[in-house]
Amino acid sequence: MCIFAAMQNTVISEGRSNAYLLHGIGVLLVMGALTLWSPFALILFPLAVVLFIADSGVEIDSKQLRVRRYIGFSRFRRGIWIPLKHFSGAELKETLVLNQSKSFFRYQRSTSRTFDVLLTMPDGEKFEINDFFEYGQAVACGEAIARLINVKLRNHYAEKTAELRRRPRRR
């Protein structure tokens, strides 16, 4: 987990992203085909490397009150900025996704868990900023956004965990 603050921006980096993996493979294939005719096609190799090592995360601009989910390389980040002035609440929820697949020989089940940071508009509509795989990153993102819009982060996951701990165990 990498969290660092620049002069005005807070970046919560999830690390390496596989979002551009197929693009990088495509560039390598095109480069390989073009290299048969011209060695100048090797110029595409750095582009493929950048696509393979792209990272993702959330960037929060506290000076202009906006947030974005980014995909980038080093300090070069790309994403759509969303102004925070339209939101009146912040929540953190756990989402469990059950994936089931049937094959000829066996039945497979797998579960994936994400921690979603949701912003609430005044009319009650929810907007998802990001779904994190690590709880600490989701809490850091949610608390930073909640501080900017002057609300308390409602952490559904912590509430549910505290309730389960209070229950007596059955024997």
In degrees, rounded to 5, the angle at the alpha carbon of residue 140 between the alpha carbons of residues 93 and 117 is 30
- Alpha carbons 84 and 19: distance in angstroms, whole number: 26
Query: Is the pLDDT confidence value at 84 over 60?
Result: yes
Tens digit of pLDDT for each residue in 3-18?
A: 555 457 888 888 887 7
Q: Report whether 57 contacts 13 (CB < 8 A).
A: yes
Name the band, by pLDDT with cuts 50, 70 and 90, for residue 67.
Answer: very high
Residue 135 lies in a domain: yes
Residue 27 lies in a domain: no
Q: Report whether 55 contacts 76 (CB < 8 A).
A: no
- Alpha carbons 100 and 111: distance in angstroms, whole number: 9
Average pLDDT, stretch 83-101? 85
Residues counted in the chain: 171
Q: Report whether 145 contacts 60 (CB < 8 A).
A: yes
Residue 107: per-residue pLDDT: 66
Residue 132 lies in a domain: yes
Tens digit of pLDDT for each residue in 15-54?
A: 887 777 888 888 888 888 888 888 888 888 888 888 888 8
Q: How much is the mean pLDDT over the chain? A: 84
Q: Report whether 10 contacts 63 (CB < 8 A).
A: no
Residue 8 lies in a domain: yes
Containing structural domain, residue 108: 2-19+54-166
Query: Is the pLDDT confidence value at 104 over 70?
Result: no
Beta strands in 22-163 (DSSP E): 55-61, 66-73, 76-78, 82-83, 89-102, 107-120, 126-132, 154-155
In degrees, rounded to 5, the angle at the alpha carbon of residue 99 between the alpha carbons of residues 133 and 135 is 15
Residue 6: per-residue pLDDT: 47
Residue 32 lies in a domain: no
**CATH number for the domain harbouring residue 160:** 2.30.29
Tens digit of pLDDT for each residue in 105-144?
A: 666 777 778 899 999 988 889 988 888 888 999 999 999 9
Residue 30 lies in a domain: no
Q: Where are the alpha helices (DSSP H) in 4-129?
A: 21-35, 45-52
Q: Report whether 51 contacts 71 (CB < 8 A).
A: no
Q: Report whether 73 contacts 96 (CB < 8 A).
A: no
- Alpha carbons 87 and 42: distance in angstroms, whole number: 48
Query: Is the pLDDT confidence value at 58 over 60?
Result: yes
How many domains is the chain partitioned into structurally? 1
Residue 119 lies in a domain: yes
Residue 24 lies in a domain: no
